[in-house]
Amino acid sequence: MIAQQIINAVSLGGVYALLALGLAIVFSIVGLINFAHGELMTLSGYALLASLVLGFPFPVAVLVAVSCGALAAVAMERVAFRPMRGASVTSLLLTSFAVSSLLKVVFQNGISARPQAVAMPSWMTGAFSFGDFTIGVGPSISIVVSALALIALEVFLRRSVTGTAMRAAAEDFDVVRLMGIPASRIIATAFLLSGLLAGLAAMLWVAQRASVDPLMGFTPVLKAFIAAVVGGLGSLPGAVAGGFLLGIIEVLLQATLPGAIAPYRDAIVLSGVIAVLLVRPQGLIPAVRAQRS
């Protein structure tokens, strides 16, 4: 039982970590909390559905869906956020809300207000048994994919020139520009990475939910925001830590709370978040540099 719940917690935490990381990457570079991040997930979900309906084999469909998420993020930056570059935090925030609402309505009216079932391959609903307990294929994939994505991102940021430039930009963007690195490239790359992470998270999310709907982006972006804040806004290791912490707390509470208190689970989780922020106002692992406005 306990081992099983730990797997559940790590699996959920991994997805939250991917989501929070997507928000944090963009925030660390441009100081924008992109609330339309959830709609990138929705878009990837619909792209997966469309590819499957068109008869693409499952791996190809996943590839198409994740690329759609990444490209959409770049397009979103180009269309909505680039004209707002240098604007105040509030303006950027409002822009991201506007993009989010707009996309939701487009999905609702253009596709359907009703959730669409996504038929996951049957092997994904399977489970393997180890003696006493069983691990579902879904949660296992979740854990493996999250781990691989986090490692790949770490390698990219440490070993590549663009990655190094991005880490530097997070600390001091002006100096990076003085080094002759184009700002647009750095920002576009940040959005591309956040879109890739949104796409991957969407695949894991949809695999667990078996449907996509126009409003599915709302909950994940909210969780990601909480995770990113708890971890330390703009700090990448912080986002990962915040994501895992949130996932673990949620699963543990769901598993242990007695029936009468269970409905207050979300309230308890959020109280926990407040407690963490009271002790560490900058988050678990604060960003290297205090955020610019």
Partner 1 sequence: MPSLYRLHRAALCAAVFGIAAISTASAEEIIIGAATAQTGGLAPYDQPALAGLRMSLDELNAKGGLAGKYTVKLLIKDTRSDTAQTATVAQELIDAGAKIMITPCDADPSISAGQLTQPLGIPTLTLCGSAPVLTGAVGDVMFGTYPADNVQATAVADFAVSEGKKKVFLLTSPDSTYTANLPEYFGKVFETKGGAIVGRGTFSMGQPDFSAEITNIKGLADKPDLIMTAAYEPDFPAFIQQLRGAGVTIPVYGADAIGTPTIKALGKLVDGVVYTAAGYAEPGSKLEAFNAAFTKYAGHAPESTYEVNGYEIGLILDQAVKTAGSDNPKAIRDAIAGLKDFEGITGKITYAGTDRMPLRPVALMRYEGGEGKHVQTLIPDAADVPAP
Chain residues that interact with partner 1, rule: CB under 8 A: 1, 4-5, 8, 11-12, 15, 105, 108-109, 112-117, 119-120, 122, 124-127, 129, 134, 136-139, 205, 207-211, 213, 215-216, 218-220, 223, 247, 250-252, 254-255, 259, 262-263, 265-266
In terms of phi and psi (left: phi > 0; alpha: psi -120 to 50; beta: otherwise), the region of 32 is beta
Least separation in angstroms between residue 274's CB and partner 1 is 19
Nearer to partner 1, 29 or 207 (CB): 207
**Least distance in angstroms from the C-beta of 122 to partner 1:** 7
CB closer to partner 1 out of 19 and 170: 19
Q: Quick one: which H or E segment has residue 211?
A: strand 211-212
| Angstrom distance (rounded) from CA 39 to CA 54 | 22
Contacts of residues 124-129 at CB distance under 8 Å and 24 or more positions apart, as own/partner, are 124/207
Nearest distance from C-beta of residue 131 to partner 1, angstroms: 14
CB of 148 to partner 1, least distance (A): 20
CB closer to partner 1 out of 190 and 204: 204
CA distance 38 to 101: 11
Least Å distance, CB 208 to partner 1, is: 6
Closer residue to partner 1, CB minimum distance, 192 or 252: 252
Structure tokens at 252: 């543990």
Q: How far apart are CA 38 and CA 128, in angstroms?
A: 32
User: Would you give the end-to-end CA distance of the chain in angstroms?
Assistant: 47
Residue 249 beta carbon to partner 1: minimum distance, rounded to whole angstroms: 11
Half-sphere exposure of 290 (CA within 13 A, CB side): 2
The least CB distance from residue 2 to partner 1, in Å, is: 10
Residue with tokens 């695999």: 207
Choose between 208 and 282: whose C-beta lies nearer to partner 1. Answer: 208
- Please say which residue, 91 or 219, places its beta carbon nearer to partner 1: 219
> Distances from the Cα of 248 to the Cαs of 4, 13, 15, 36, 143, in angstroms?
12, 6, 11, 25, 13
Round to whole Å and give the CA distance between 29 and 18: 17
Chain centroid to CA 287 = 18
Quote the DSSP letter at residue 260: T
* Choice between 84 and 141, CB closer to partner 1: 141
